Structure 1
Amino acid sequence: METPGTTEPTDPAGTTTGTAAGAAETSESDDVARFRRRIGLAGIIDVHTHFMPERVLRKVWAYFDAVGPLTGLEWPIAYRYEEERRLHLLRSFGVQRFTSLLYPHKPGMARWLNGWAADFAARTPDCLHTATLFPEEGVEAYVKEAVENGARVFKSHLQVGAYDANDPLLDPVWGLLAEAGVPVVMHCGSGPAPGRFTGPEPVGRLLARHPRLRLIVAHLGMPEYAEFLALAEAYPEVRLDTTMAFTDFSEGLSPFPAAQRGRLADLGDRILLGTDFPNIPYPYVHQLRALERLGLGDEWLRAVCHGNAAALFP
């Protein structure tokens, strides 16, 4: 029992722990459970969550701590916790499967990250075995090795990696992944700030050569929503994840055009829930409520939050 004049202990990141934190987590879990009950869903599949080596994750958090000047909005990390607590939280939300999206920003990192991710998947059975890539010598070999070792999803980050998806070194890799039917979550939209190789045009060229590539466009292609929806309409294997889209935070930066809402309904079997947990500046349930307030119905929500991903990752 707390004695007068004492405060709750904090973890190394400065977040509250103990009784207050436990009560907050229970409240959050109850909020998500109420959402699932409202739409008749036993569990959730989240295709856009991040787990990575601790020192890499700390650098990612440092980037978001400094991203305010870039976006004009502060970006406080809502779940700046140690790994086990983050895993516990996701499971308490009813998330049945999730990813460990990770990505290199320079040559020589991807194979090492893939080794870490394979170990993480082995000790975390509800995590979809995730891998990554970079345009460098040897990329085809280590991507093939990852697929043979059971990788079920890849992450490509064109903005952070500052590479062209059409780099000749990657062409055989896209062919390999298309042939194997392994999806690729790709950050290719120009949010929160454009990169040299972001945007729909280079992705369109990639898909013209590899139309069977199971591409999952992260963040719904923010802010080029309409153009990436058009690519999904043109290529049946293209999907989009909802990461941060429609939230109050993103609507302040890159509002989704109301005129495009009907296309979300039409592509309802190819929209997948993504959240960016733990690197989000608001509670997890806010992403779910943001989808709910689109008014596209419970059937659409059940497909987005579970059914579509369950079909893609049986």
Structure 2
Amino acid sequence: MDDHGDAPHGPHGPHEPDEIRRFWSRLGLPGLVDVHTHFMPERVLRKVWEYFDGLGPLTGGMEWPIAYREEEAERARILREFGVRAFTAMLYPHKPGMAAWLNDWAVDFARRTPDCLHTATLFPEPGVEAYVGEAVAAGARVFKAHVQVGAYDPADELLRPAWGVLADAGIPVVIHCGSGPAPGKHTGPGPIARVLADHPRLRLIVAHMGMPEYEEFLDLAERYGEVRLDTTMAFTDFSEGFMPFPRRALPRLAALGDRILLGSDFPNIPYPYAHQLHALERLGLGEEWLRAVCHDNGAELFGLNGPELR
């Protein structure tokens, strides 16, 4: 096993679950809702890890040690131990003909992983409207789109009917469309603005807070009431070192507190999971904001609130 997997708790340490549980307990929460975690077929995930290990261009050439390089069942167990009561299987194709196969895998994963929000994906290709509709009928609750890795224009005409299906169904789409950690041909706010102009009710969740075009994606969230942003890797020491969030935008972040969602990028993060939580806390936006971001916004969006909760 590689260096990151030798110790049973990796570089994050055996006390991290207790640390994380203390974090959400003192906020009076029943746990966390993380809208941006990665589960996918093991051979696909291994290739993703190999890419990170190889310091490829999509990572900006930065060293990116995977902190939670465990087998699938162990990764799910770790999230549960942290008190993550709902998470996602963010999976994405990089070429045509791959999305429908990933969606088939995701159906089975959701069946055997009840705390995972059934996730699906899409790609601009003939037949995309049909398989997106099939995924919706099969119970998909969230979609993942990766403009950077897929190297496609989200405003591609092939995707227009699929976006319409998702807008009509009210199903959120977590979309990596910002230009971090490295820009792509179709990243940035422009293509997404064109999608939203056609589908203003589309529930887009902009991954990574739109890093590094934070303020431009905040503009879109302020313009469109169904646009949300996830915190994935934003505000951490790692990201602040090369794509810092502008302090002048903190009041806007506070004002959009009902549309910011916790995301982590687990397991593909180069630091302990707890660091993302502490990075949010040190923004100084208050406990009400933290409660909304770390649990309540996601619980409301995905209908997770029940009589057993607060």
8 Å contact from structure 1 (residues 68, 75) kept in 2: no
Tell me which residue corresponds to 1:67.
55
Aligned 1:93-172 pairs, distance under 5 A: 93-172=82-161
Structure 1 position 206 matched with structure 2 position 200 = no
1:288 to 262, 271, 277: 277
Length-normalised TM-score, structure 1? 0.93
Preserved CA contact (<8 Å) 2:25 2:31: no
**Structure 1 contact 129–153 (Cα < 8 Å) conserved:** yes
Aligned to 2:234: 245
- Alignment check: 8 A CA contact 1:272 1:304 kept: yes
- Which is worse superposed, 119-128 or 60-69? 60-69
In structure 2, runs of 5+ residues without a counterpart are: 304-310
* SS, match of residue 265 in structure 2: coil
| Structure 1 contact 13–80 (Cα < 8 Å) conserved | no
1:145-196: CA deviations, max 9, x gaps?
0000100000000000000011111000001100000000000000000000
Residue 5 (structure 2) aligns with: 15
SS of alignment partner, residue 155 of structure 1: strand
Q: 1:233 to 1:94 in 2, by over 3 A?
A: same
1:269 match: secondary structure: helix
Q: C-alpha deviations, 1:256-289, integer Å up to 9, x for none?
A: 0000000011000000000000000000000000
Cα distance, 1:68 vs structure 2: 6.8
Q: Is the 1:239–1:271 Cα contact (8 Å) retained in structure 2?
A: yes
TM superposition shift of 1:90: 0.3
**What does residue 29 of structure 2 align with?**
41
Q: Deviations over 1:83-102 (max 9, x none)?
A: 11101100000000000000
Q: In structure 1, which of residues 7, 24, 31 is the aligned counterpart of residue 19 of structure 2?
A: 31
Change (3 A) 1:68 1:40: farther
Distance 1:22 1:65, change over 3 A: closer
Distance of aligned partners of 1:206 and 1:30 in 2 relative to their CA distance in 1, 3 Å threshold:
same
Q: Is structure 2 residue 96 aligned with structure 1 residue 92?
A: no
Distance in 2 (CA, whole Å) between partners of 1:308 and 1:155 is 18
Question: For residues 82 and 230 of structure 1, do their structure 2 counterparts lie closer, same or farther at Cα, with a shift above 3 Å needed?
Answer: same
Contact 1:187 1:219 in 2 (8 A): yes
Matched length: 302
The 10-residue stretch of structure 1 (280-289 or 23-32) with the greater mean CA deviation from structure 2? 23-32
1:166 alignment partner, SS class: coil
Change (3 A) 1:14 1:238: closer
Task: Sort the Cα spacing of 1:297 and 1:172 in 2 relative to 1 into closer, same or farther, 3 A.
Answer: same
In the alignment, what sits opposite 2:301? Answer: 312
Residue 98 of structure 1: SS of its match in structure 2?
A: strand
Quick check: 1:25–1:89 contact (8 Å CA) kept in 2? no
1:41, CA displacement in angstroms?
A: 1.6
Mapped to 2, the partners of 1:172 and 1:195 lie a distance apart of 24
Q: How far does residue 42 in structure 1 lie from its aligned partner after superposition?
A: 2.0
**Structure 1 unaligned regions, length at least 5:** 1-10
Three-state SS of the structure 1 residue aligned to 2:79 is helix
Can you list the C-alpha shifts for 1:95-122, whole angstroms capped at 9, x where unaligned? 0000000000000100000000110000
Distance in 2, matches of 1:249 and 1:144, equals 38
Q: Measure how far apart 1:305 and its partner are.
A: 0.5
Residue 268 to residue 142, structure 1, CA distance change in 2 (3 Å):
same
DSSP 3-state at the match of 1:57:
helix
Deviation at 1:14, TM superposition (A): 5.7
Would the alpha carbon gap of residues 23 and 274 (structure 1) be closer, same or farther in structure 2, given more than 3 Å must change?
A: closer
Q: Please provide the CA RMSD for this pair.
A: 1.6
What TM-score does the superposition give when structure 2 sets the normalisation length? 0.94
Q: 1:295 to 1:84 in 2, by over 3 A?
A: same
